Amino acid sequence: MTGQPNISKSVRRTFDVLELFCEQRRPMTAAQIQHALGLPQPSARVLLKELLDVGYLSYTMPARTYFPTARLRKLSDWLGSSLTVNDTLIPSIDAVATAVDETVALATATYGHVEVLYANRAQHPLALQVQAGMGGCLWRSAPGRTLLSMRSEAEVDAFFADIDVSDAPRGRALREEVRRQIRSIREEGCFAGYDILMKGVGSMCLPLTGLACEGTHLVVTVAGGKDRIKSAERQILKTLRTQLRDLLA
Give residue 4's pLDDT: 46
> How large is the angle between the packed helices 30-37 and 41-53, nearest 10 degrees?
120
What are the chain's domains? 9-74 (1.10.10.10), 83-248 (3.30.450.40)
Note if the bond before 207 is cis, omega within 30 degrees: no
Angle at 183 between CA 153 and CA 189, to 5 degrees: 115
Give residue 12's pLDDT: 87
pLDDT digits (tens, 9 = 90+) for 99-112: 999 999 999 887 77
User: Greatest CA span in the chain, whole angstroms?
Assistant: 64
What is the C-alpha to C-alpha distance for residues 85 and 143, in angstroms, rounded to an integer? Answer: 16
Rounded alpha-carbon distances, angstroms, from residue 201 to 70, 139, 193, 197: 39, 16, 8, 8
Share of the chain above pLDDT 90, in %: 45
Average pLDDT, integer, range 183-201: 94
What is the C-alpha to C-alpha distance for residues 59 and 133, in angstroms, rounded to an integer? Answer: 27
- The closest of 172, 119, 184, 106 to 145, measured between CA atoms, is 184
User: Which residue has better confidence, 248 or 130?
Assistant: 130
- The closest of 79, 114, 129 to 220, measured between CA atoms, is 114
Share of the chain above pLDDT 70, in %: 87
Give residue 180's pLDDT: 94
pTM: predicted TM-score of the whole model, two decimal places: 0.66
Q: Are 204 and 190 in contact (CB under 8 A)?
A: yes
**57 contacts: CB under 8 Å, gap ≥ 6:** 17, 48, 51, 66, 67, 68, 69
pLDDT digits (tens, 9 = 90+) for 49-62: 999 988 888 888 88
pLDDT digits (tens, 9 = 90+) for 2-51: 444 455 788 889 989 999 998 888 899 999 999 999 999 999 999 999 99
User: Which residue has better confidence, 170 or 99?
Assistant: 99
Rounded alpha-carbon distances, angstroms, from residue 169 to 25, 95, 158, 160: 40, 35, 14, 9
Is 161's pLDDT higher than 90? no
Is 98's pLDDT higher than 90? yes
Give residue 85's pLDDT: 58
What is the C-alpha to C-alpha distance for residues 104 and 102, in angstroms, rounded to an integer? Answer: 6
pLDDT digits (tens, 9 = 90+) for 199-245: 999 999 999 876 655 567 899 999 999 999 999 999 999 999 999 88
Give residue 225's pLDDT: 95
3-state secondary structure 125-140: CCCCCCCCCCEEEHHH
Of 120-134, 166-180, 210-224, the least confident: 210-224
Is 142's pLDDT higher than 50? yes
135-137 sheet: strands from edge to edge: 135-137, 113-120, 103-110, 218-225, 201-208, 191-194
Running DSSP on this structure, what letter comes out for residue 229? Answer: H
